[in-house]
Amino acid sequence: MSNRTFSVLGLFDSSQQLMDAIPVVKARVSGRLEAYTPYPIHGIEEALGLRKSPVGGMVFIMGLIGAISALAFELWTEGVDYPVVTAGKPLFSWEAFIPIMFEVTVLFACFTSGLGMLFLLNRLPFFRHPMLRSRSMPLITRDKFALAVESEGQVLDVDRITAALREAGAQTIEVIDQPEALGPVSPRFLLRAAVGIGMACLVTGYLTYWCMKLFPVSVPMVHMLDQPRLDPQRRDSYFKDGFGMRMPVAGTVARGHIPYTIKTEDEAAVLANPLPRTGSVLSKGRQEFTTYCSVCHGILGNGVSTLTPAYGAKPANLVADKVREYPDGRIYHVIMMGKNAMPSYAAELTGDERWAVVHYVRVLQRALNARDTDIPKEIPR
Amino acid sequence: MSPSGHRGEIPAGSIPLAEASVDTLSRRRFLNLISASAALALGTTSCSRIDRGKIVPYTRKPEEVVPGVATYYASTFQEGVATQGVLVKTREGRPILVEGNAEHTVTRGKISLRAMADLLGLYDPDRLGRPSAGGVASTWEAAEQEIAQALKAARAAGVPVLLLTDTLMSPTRKALIEELRAAIPALRHAAWEPAVSQPEIFAARALFGEVLLPRLRFDRTEVILSLQDDFLGINGNAPSLARDFAARRAVSSAKDSMNRLWVIEGCMTLTGANADQRLQVRPSKIAPLAFALARVLNEVYGVPLPRDLNAGYLRPFELDAQARELGIEPPVLLALAEDLRRAGRSALVLAGAALPREAHVACHMLNGMLGAEGHTVDTDFAVPAPELLTFGALRDLLDEAGRGAFPIAIFWGTNPAYSFPDAAAWKSAVAKIPLKIRIGLYEDETALACRWRLPEHHWLEAWGDFEPAADLLSLRQPTIGAIHDTRQGEDILLACLRAMGREVPPTYHEYMKARWQREVYPGTSPASFEAFWDAALHDGLLRREARPRPPRVARTETFVEAMSEASAGSPGSQEDGLELVLLPGMTAYDGRYANNGWLNELPDPVTKATWGNPLLVSLSDAKRLRLEDGDLVTVSAGATSLEVPVLIQPGQSPGVAGLSVGLGRRTGNVATGVGVNAYPLMDVSSPSPNLRCSVNVARTGGRRAIPRTQEHDRMEGRDLARSWTLAEYALKAGGQEAGEHGHEVASLMPAQEFTGQKWSMVVDLSACIGCSACVIACQSENNVPVVGPERVLVGREMHWIRIDRYYDGNPAEPSVIHQPVLCQHCDDAPCEIVCPVNATTHSSDGLNQMAYNRCVGTRYCSNNCPFKVRRFNFFDYTSMKKEPESLVFNPEVTVRPRGVMEKCSFCIQRIQDVRQRANVESRPVRDGEIKPACAVACPAEAIAFGDLNDPESRVSKMSKMDRGYRMLAELGVKPSVTYLVDISNPMTGKGKA
Amino acid sequence: MNLEAVTVSEEMLPPVLRTPPVLDGPVSPGSLDDQVLAPVERRPPRAWFIAFACTSTVMLMGLILMGYTVATGIGVWGNNIPVAWAFAIINFVFWIGIGHAGTLISAILLLFRARWRNAVSRFAEAMTIFAVMVAGIFPVLHVGRPWLAFWLFPYPNQRAIWPNFRSPLMWDVFAVSTYFSVSLLFWYLGLMPDFASLRDRTKSRVRKFFYAVLAVGWRGSASHWRHFERAYLIIAGIATGLVLSVHSVVSFDFAVSLVPGWHMTIFPPYFVTGAIFAGFAMVVMAMVVVRTTMNLKNIITMYHLDVMNKIILTCSCLMGYAYLMEGWTAWYSMNQYVHHTFWAYIAGTYGWAGWLTITCNIVIPQLFWVRRLRRSYPAMLFVAVAVTVGMWFERFVIIVSSLHHDFMPSAWQVYKPTLVDLGILAGSFGLFFTLVLLFARVLPVIATSEMKVVLPGGQPRRDGGSHE
């Protein structure tokens, strides 16, 4: 039993009695007057001298914010961040954004009004208020009306207030004690809270992840990542060898792929290079040569390359006299059919590319066997 | 495909459609990191939810294949007496599409929808996978051994061996069979096709002593008279014919000359639907009418009769009398005669398989009189038609077998157990044959009657050569190694030869090559045979010069006989009962494609019925018999009768019923239970089995709903598919009504601008004949699922392009118009704005594109699409597929799962492919280089596609034509598809027919 | 509630709204509490259990069928192309409509100072909440891939994709979710003082804790009441705009598209009226049951029912006008497509549905011109049921009949619902009434604190005489 009193309250039967009592008590005692009623009583604000509620202003401001943010968001997403054309409408077609703007405005305004009232203005939820533990509370929420003189720190003169209330016509008087001041929040509580919040975050986070990532693709939800069609470079269970990519049937001729029928290098000599010696052809030739040939034959085609020591066989020196005397067709044939350790490059190079390479090989041969006469008479300074 | 175009799976610089801004990308990466770390924190990254599979490359990459890039093979499709040059598109050594080979001189790139659809047949799960003996799986070795012994025994005993095949169009196969006959002297080879026009053969043989396969030159034709001949529909060469036919109808101005199509028929055929003037006559009444026309031509217009034919014979054929009897205005017939005379040698008269022999004779007579024979009926390089058994002859053969004449019988290809009308004869025959061998694709009705069931290669796995014309050889080469443990039919015969102790090449491929080297190569080419052969395979054909054959001379006596028969009136022409026309359907043909889902679901161009063959009856007969669509009736002719639902066909002449054969199969997971088998209704003994007279139809009281893709036949006065006569066109040209380009609906929004390309399509309704080839091509190219009859019934078909068919005017004799409808890719597409998740949006080059994977399936877009071209996956249709069917999918197109909306994409994958190639070759995209599947397939070249922003492109020129209009333009959706008004060319100035 | 907040004096009001005899017989605040709050603590009667068993069974069946649909695909419904929308959307619009009476009664009538609303507002609001909950199921269920329906919400994602705010369906998402949350808030605020009184009167500790938490320590101090009233009134004011907007937005789903029969400017008011119409029918039905079974005859009086029936009658006439306007538009626009669609309404495949609609919504409610019928149970139940059926079929006609015949005759198709469709419809009713029954047991069906305001002698005398 603490010695300090929180408030003294008197119960009345009707709102009328309450209203009549207010001025009486006000005149007698100092201290804050507060009324508790089962339902709102009109005019009691004035009687108790309470100022008007500021809810309206809050609602207006938040509503405005809602409207602006909604419209801004729509304009940004549709016009700036994800500009896709639908039905030939302009990206900033604000007309279509009004309905959502309106709804968001309403949402903001209503929740400001409701929750603002509860949390900001009325400071609810508040479960430890001394009134809640008073005997009168059940009566008040039912049909009684209470007028209370509450202490704002100062010590109340209980007897005096009681007298005043009696005079104002209160049947029952209740004195409500100040609850013990709450000690500092215990570390255990803080720890519990932290852990609880942490757990909650984890669970919600995981659930969200599950809902958005895993749920949509679990059976029977169908999605498009695993296609029933057979894509290139894929295994296919239907064929016994498991290869999704099949070999063409021997002897067939695909469009644009007339088979190369020449058997020997000598026969190939008759082949003439169909490509002109233009810059583009030569650069094409260089590109392919560097990609496929230079690995063994060396960047200069002289058979000296990084790979050469790595394995036994000695790749041909393309700039040697022997090869220089080869006709174009013969070089082409070697590219087609391979030679000694060299495999065929038919699959890697198309016909034109092979001929371009032949041209480039010629360029290399010429470049590595330059003569003095190649140097122009007067060297430009 | 030029190989230089695209190598490397990811071609350099493919054009991004939507401009991805840098900060978007950075934000995307940021969010990726965030989510990744989140996932890490939650320890869920370990469970990767989709198995992305392993990479399985080529161990030794073939030269012609680049993964992800299509390779094409020239090959040949054959069906009955028709051969078509095709290009087979393969991906990674697997055919995924069949298109026409433009270099083929006969078909010139136009192939039938069955040729395209039979790709599905290659991957049909029902195909026979391995040889079996008496229903027990066996091996090829065992088969060869047993058959060899049997043959040896037969040869020793000198008893005949029966070999029944389908049409022999291949010279090498013919040679092979000759060799087999040399080895087994008593070999009895016979070829039989149920779907061949028997009366035509009779008539030609009687008239000219030989049966030719002339080339019909519609490009030279002014006036066509078709006597119940569906040359645009079921004719084997319909696509190439349609090309020339339509070329003369796609007029660019009112002054252009147009051909005129007269059709005299009982059943409504696709050809009849395209007629300028259509007269309804019962088939049995057509022959006399034709002779009457001949008489009028001779008497009124002084066209000379055939050599030494006495005009007296034509006396009985009174035009007016017949006109009166048939209820036709005599002036119309006179006009027809006048028209024919005016056209002279540029006229062309055709007679259909349903007509009796004498009608065909009359047809030849008219062609002869008009001079069309040799001009529009071009026999210069015609080859003789292969010998074919008639129904009667086959029955005799079976009777012979029934008397135990053949110890061994080989049934190769053709399927008599199903398609021979006289089942009793067949049964007694097979009962008496000890060893029966079946070579075929399926375990079908005939196979079930045989001990040995030897699976054959599908034509896409096989070698072969064909001789469609004297100056052309057409080659077939495999586009994929055998999918099952099958062999080519010829290889089986080679094995028999080997068993007979003959020295033959190991494979038919070698055999064919050897024969070509012996017989074809010499003197043909300077190059080595290898080079010559490879070139021929590459082109898929070999052109060679041949001497034009002399014109045919007709025997006068045959005319006389025919006239006497005609005047006597055909036996069944008495008025009681209906005349039933029994012809192969456009989809199942003679039954060989009955197990093909694509074809079963393809709506019939005229009736729009799918999954079945309803009995087509005329309005008046329906009224008389109190029939409604879907009522079950019993059709009884002679002893046989069967139960079938009816479909009331406007334009069917009273007293005529139509029923297509080829369905009602007893085998095959797809085919079983679809439609009814109408073959038994054919009269084997009759010279014209395709027409059955005095057929009785009676209601059973039952009902069977017919799945149709179009329930409503009339346009309700709406301005959707427009048709003018040439006269109207002349009036309207340049006038307000012409075109709709001025038709701009006021809009509050600024018009969308398309810099760069703006894809657009033009559909010429005047060229379109409604054959539906585009539908199959689209289905094959875009992985469009098959949904089955019960879902077509509730309106859930998935075709991306459909052909609307509207009847106009008097329902008894309506005019018909076809209109292909696909996504119109509207500039202001109403479907886009209503999609809540931005799943369907507009591309910078004017495409209305679908992001399937973003679609949640609200179906709002479909509601808001005025053309109703959007299709919804109500179920997961692809999950119902069996292996290896899924190999048919085009790897370039996403397969859509359930709950997703889909629609025509203008074949975006083809657009991108061409774009990428153009980029690699650093050149702009050429006009006409991009062709959607439908445009490629269209035999009439009615579909043009290209860049509308390029003033020189074909589409921008065509869309500016004064025939052009946009459908439902008044809605202000600005469609990208321009339709060109259908122009018809009737005698009288009042609309079609 | 604080009616004086709006400073309008009685005399300026129309007679209907003038201080009504909102009560039969003497009721004191205390007796009111005993009468309304007691049942919440008592064990429910057998009748309740029977009803609950029935409704929850139907609900369960519905839920199972919904699961079946999600697992198999929308194909199990009758939908097709062109009728891509059918039962799901019909039910959605129907239930959203039902959900409109509540907010209307609490908000608009509050502004109009109709005192009789206080007795019915709580129940009506509850029905709003439940109806919107039921309605909310259908948009999700009807999409082809429901498990991805969350894509309709604008949340940042790795794909950096945003939804399309130009689509009426997006407007729907916002309108409906806003409406639901605001209604819930409004309802809760109204309940709070009642929770307080429940907290203070109940004996069971569990209940006490439960109600105490819900009452968030409400102690009815004057300084709280003043904020409370202000906030409550403001929400009511805004909610008035909201309730009008929500069904307008729903109607945009149709009006904004170009389907003939949908593309009409009359749709927003037409839909809002229809919603109020159907909502009040449902409330009347419920009220008749409640006041008889929970013996609240003296609080929910015949007068209440009479007034609500008058509103129903008014709405019915407005609907009649809307129907006429549709015909007029079809004729006057001279648009052949709209013209055809209108004929399809009354003479097409679904003509019967059209006439059923007209009969139920226009003809039958005319009975309410007779005062005696306005005050007889059978009559009002009959009308209420008729209106409910009629309004459902109205949506059926608007959606299915318009879609099955639109621009392309070649695409015209007849729509037939499947058993699954019907089962899910039934299930939605099951779910709704299950929720209503639960509500009637655990929460006060009448806003006691609001009632106490209007009890005689509730308010102190003021200059200008007292109210009675």
**Which residues is B191 bridged to in the sheet?**
B165
**Which residues is B164 bridged to in the sheet?**
B190, B411
Sole residue written with tokens 């799976």: B9
Residue C170 has pLDDT above 50, yes or no: yes
Per residue, what are the HEC states of B312-335? HHHCCCCHHHHHHHHCCCHHHHHH
Structure tokens given for B159: 């008893």
Interface probe with A: pick from B65, B542, B861, most Cβ of A within 10 Å: B65
* Short-list C450, C219, C460, CA closest to A139: C219
The predicted structure's pLDDT at residue A182: 60
Closest chain C residue to A140 measured between Cα atoms? C220
pLDDT, mean over chain A: 88
The partner residue sitting opposite C171, judged by closest CB among A100, A121, A142, is A100
Per residue in A118-165, pLDDT (tens digit) is 999 998 888 888 888 899 999 999 889 999 998 887 888 889 999 999
The predicted structure's pLDDT at residue B10: 38
The predicted structure's pLDDT at residue B831: 95
Closest chain A residue to B895 measured between Cα atoms? A227
**What radius of gyration, in Å, describes the C-alpha atoms of chain B?**
29
Per residue in B785-808, pLDDT (tens digit) is 999 999 999 999 999 999 999 999
The partner residue sitting opposite B837, judged by closest CB among C152, C340, C414, is C152
Q: How many CB atoms lie within 10 A of CB A28?
A: 15
Per residue in B695-709, pLDDT (tens digit) is 999 999 999 999 999
Interface probe with B: pick from A249, A264, A280, A283, most Cβ of B within 10 Å: A249
- Classify strands B464-469 and B161-165 as parallel, antiparallel or unpaired: unpaired
Residue B408 has pLDDT above 90, yes or no: yes
Are the C-beta atoms of residues B172 and B519 closer than 8 Å to each other? no
Cα C74 to Cα A127: distance, rounded to the nearest angstrom: 51
Does the distance separating the beta carbons of B74 and A255 come in below 8 Å?
yes
Are the C-beta atoms of residues A70 and A105 closer than 8 Å to each other? yes
Whether residue C368 is contained in a domain is answered as: yes
The predicted structure's pLDDT at residue B991: 34
Helix (H, G, I), strand (E, B) or coil at A102: helix
Per residue, what are the HEC states of chain C? CCHHHCCCCHHHCCHHHCCCCCCCCCCCHHHHHHHHHHHHHCCCCHHHHHHHHHHHHHHHHHHHHHHHHHHHCHHHCCCCCCCCCCHHHHHHHHHHHHCHHHHHHHHHHHHCCCCCHHHHHHHHHHHHHHHHHHHHHHHHHHCCCHHHHHHHCCCCCCCCCCCCCCCHHHHHHHHHHHHHHHHHHHHHHHHHHHHHHHHHHCCCHHHHHHHHHHHCCCCCEHHHHHHHHHHHHHHHHHHHHHHHHHHHHHHHHHHCCCCCCCCCCCHHHHHHHHHHHHHHHHHHHHHHHHHHHCCCCCCCCHHHHHHHHHHHHHHHHHHHHHHHHHHHHHHHHCCHHHHHHHHHHHHCCCHHHHHHHHHHHHHHHHHHHCHHHHCCHHHHHHHHHHHHHHHHHHHHHHHHHHHHCCCCHHHCCCCCCCHHHHHHHHHHHHHHHHHHHHHHHHCCCCCHHHHHHHCCCCCCCCCCCCCC
Determine the distance in angstroms separating the CA of A59 from the nearest CA of chain C, rounded to an integer.
Answer: 8
Determine the distance in angstroms separating the CA of B966 from the nearest CA of chain C, rounded to an integer.
Answer: 14
B-proximal residues of C, 304-343, CB under 8 Å: 336-337, 340
Are the C-beta atoms of residues B140 and B131 closer than 8 Å to each other? yes
Sole residue written with tokens 């009721």: C27
Are the C-beta atoms of residues A83 and A91 closer than 8 Å to each other? yes
Cα C50 to Cα C128: distance, rounded to the nearest angstrom: 24
Determine the distance in angstroms separating the CA of C238 from the nearest CA of chain B, rounded to an integer.
Answer: 27
Per residue in C42-79, pLDDT (tens digit) is 888 899 999 999 999 999 999 999 999 999 999 999 99
The predicted structure's pLDDT at residue C18: 56
% of chain C beyond a pLDDT of 90: 71
Residue C158 has pLDDT above 90, yes or no: no
**Which residues is B699 bridged to in the sheet?**
B633
Interface probe with B: pick from C343, C408, C416, most Cβ of B within 10 Å: C408
Are the C-beta atoms of residues B372 and B348 closer than 8 Å to each other? yes
The predicted structure's pLDDT at residue B24: 45
Q: Chains that contact B by 3+ CB pairs under 8 Å? A: A, C
Per residue in B553-566, pLDDT (tens digit) is 999 999 999 999 88
Does A276 sit behind a cis peptide bond, omega within 30 degrees of 0 on the bond before it?
no
The predicted structure's pLDDT at residue B747: 80
Helix (H, G, I), strand (E, B) or coil at B451: coil
B871: chain C residues, CB-CB within 8 Å: 81
A59: chain C residues, CB-CB within 8 Å: 234, 238
Per residue in B292-342, pLDDT (tens digit) is 999 999 999 989 998 888 888 888 898 888 888 888 888 899 999 999 999
The partner residue sitting opposite B62, judged by closest CB among A229, A243, A247, is A247
B843 touches chain C (CB under 8 A): no
Q: What is the mean pLDDT of residues B96-110?
A: 93
Domain residue ranges of chain A, discontinuous segments joined by +: 5-177, 265-373
Closest chain A residue to B836 measured between Cα atoms? A86
Whether residue C150 is contained in a domain is answered as: no
Burial class, A149, CB count within 10 angstroms (exposed 0-12 / middle 13-18 / buried 19+):
buried
The partner residue sitting opposite B28, judged by closest CB among C160, C257, C259, is C160
Q: What is the ipTM of this complex?
A: 0.89
% of chain B beyond a pLDDT of 70: 92
Interface probe with A: pick from C35, C41, C110, C234, most Cβ of A within 10 Å: C234
The predicted structure's pLDDT at residue B35: 52
Q: What is the mean pLDDT of residues A285-296?
A: 91
Residue C384: give the domain boundaries: 21-143+166-454
DSSP symbols for B475-521: EE--SS--SSS-B-HHHHHHHHHHHTT----SSHHHHHHHHIIIIIS
Q: Chains that contact C by 3+ CB pairs under 8 Å? A: A, B
Q: Chains that contact A by 3+ CB pairs under 8 Å? A: B, C
Determine the distance in angstroms separating the CA of C166 from the nearest CA of chain A, rounded to an integer.
Answer: 5
Are the C-beta atoms of residues C103 and C125 closer than 8 Å to each other? yes
CATH superfamily of A265-373: Cytochrome c-like domain (1.10.760.10)
The model's pTM is 0.90
Q: What is the total count of domains within chain C?
A: 1
Residue B784 has pLDDT above 90, yes or no: yes
Q: How many CB atoms lie within 10 A of CB A123?
A: 11
Cα C247 to Cα C263: distance, rounded to the nearest angstrom: 16
* Short-list B469, B480, B540, CA closest to B85: B540
pLDDT, mean over chain C: 89
The secondary element (H helix, E strand) that includes residue B982 is strand B982-984
- Report the half-sphere exposure of B169 (CA within 13 A, side-chain side): 25
Return the DSSP state at B786.
P
Determine the distance in angstroms separating the CA of A74 from the nearest CA of chain C, rounded to an integer.
Answer: 7
Cα B380 to Cα B469: distance, rounded to the nearest angstrom: 9
C173: chain B residues, CB-CB within 8 Å: 836
**Which residues is B763 bridged to in the sheet?**
B943, B979
Determine the distance in angstroms separating the CA of B89 from the nearest CA of chain A, rounded to an integer.
Answer: 10
Interface probe with A: pick from B31, B525, B534, most Cβ of A within 10 Å: B534
Q: What is the mean pLDDT of residues A186-215?
A: 88
% of chain B beyond a pLDDT of 90: 74
C458: chain A residues, CB-CB within 8 Å: 15, 39
The predicted structure's pLDDT at residue C3: 43
Closest chain C residue to B792 measured between Cα atoms? C80
C406 touches chain B (CB under 8 A): yes
Whether residue C159 is contained in a domain is answered as: no
Q: Which amino acid is at B939?
A: P
Does the distance separating the beta carbons of C450 and A113 come in below 8 Å?
no
Per residue in C264-315, pLDDT (tens digit) is 999 999 999 999 999 999 999 999 998 888 888 888 888 889 999 999 999 9
Q: What is the mean pLDDT of residues C234-251?
A: 92
Cα B584 to Cα B194: distance, rounded to the nearest angstrom: 9
A-proximal residues of C, 1-30, CB under 8 Å: 1-2, 4, 28-30
pLDDT, mean over chain B: 89
Structure tokens given for A380: 């430009």
Whether residue C324 is contained in a domain is answered as: yes
B29 touches chain A (CB under 8 A): no
* Short-list B21, C153, C156, CA closest to A79: B21
Residue A270 has pLDDT above 70, yes or no: yes
A-proximal residues of B, 749-768, CB under 8 Å: 749-752
Determine the distance in angstroms separating the CA of C275 from the nearest CA of chain A, rounded to an integer.
Answer: 19
The partner residue sitting opposite B856, judged by closest CB among C149, C168, C340, is C149
CA A148 from centroid of its chain's CA atoms: 55
Higher pLDDT, A238 or B536: B536
Query: What is the CA angle C234-C239-C244, rounded to 5?
Result: 145
Residue A334 has pLDDT above 70, yes or no: yes
Determine the distance in angstroms separating the CA of A140 from the nearest CA of chain C, rounded to an integer.
Answer: 8
**Which residues is B816 bridged to in the sheet?**
B807
Does the distance separating the beta carbons of C185 and A114 come in below 8 Å?
yes
Cα B137 to Cα B866: distance, rounded to the nearest angstrom: 55
Q: Most distant CA pair in chain C: distance in Å?
A: 76
Determine the distance in angstroms separating the CA of B798 from the nearest CA of chain A, rounded to an integer.
Answer: 18
Cα C269 to Cα C292: distance, rounded to the nearest angstrom: 35
Cα B513 to Cα B530: distance, rounded to the nearest angstrom: 9
Helix locations, B594-654, DSSP H:
597-601, 619-625
The predicted structure's pLDDT at residue B225: 96
